[in-house]
């Protein structure tokens, strides 16, 4: 198992888990989110290829509507 930080909370995952697999597991698969890993935003087109590593810091934000 690997340990990552998800929005400042520790989570464990199986090794070789892609970002898209983790997002589905965490129920963030609706697509209306932005993801940063280690303070760098990740393009949505690379979610399937991006393998999470032990110690990664993942921040997920949802857009807020307003007027």
List the one residue out of 57, 13, 22 whose CA is nearest residue 37: 57
Residue 59, Cβ neighbours under 10 Å: how many?
15
Mean pLDDT value of segment 57-66: 86
Give 16-25 pLDDT, tens digit per residue. Answer: 999 999 999 9
Furthest-apart CA pair in the chain: how many Å?
Answer: 44
Structural domain boundaries in the chain: 2-61
At residue 67, the pLDDT reads: 61
Q: Is the pLDDT of residue 55 over 90?
A: yes
Q: Is the pLDDT of residue 30 over 80?
A: no
Give 36-53 pLDDT, tens digit per residue. Answer: 999 999 999 999 999 999
Q: Is the pLDDT of residue 33 over 80?
A: yes
Topology annotation, domain 2-61: Ubiquitin-like (UB roll) (3.10.20)
In terms of residues, how long is the chain?
Answer: 67
């Amino acid at each position: 198992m690997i340990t990552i930080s998800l929005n400042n909370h520790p989570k464990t995952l199986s090794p070789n888990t892609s970002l898209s697999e983790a997002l589905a597991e965490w129920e963030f698969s609706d697509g209306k989110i932005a993801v940063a890993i280690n303070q760098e935003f990740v393009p949505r087109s690379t979610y399937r290829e991006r393998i999470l590593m032990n110690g990664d810091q993942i921040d997920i934000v949802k857009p807020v509507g307003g007027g």
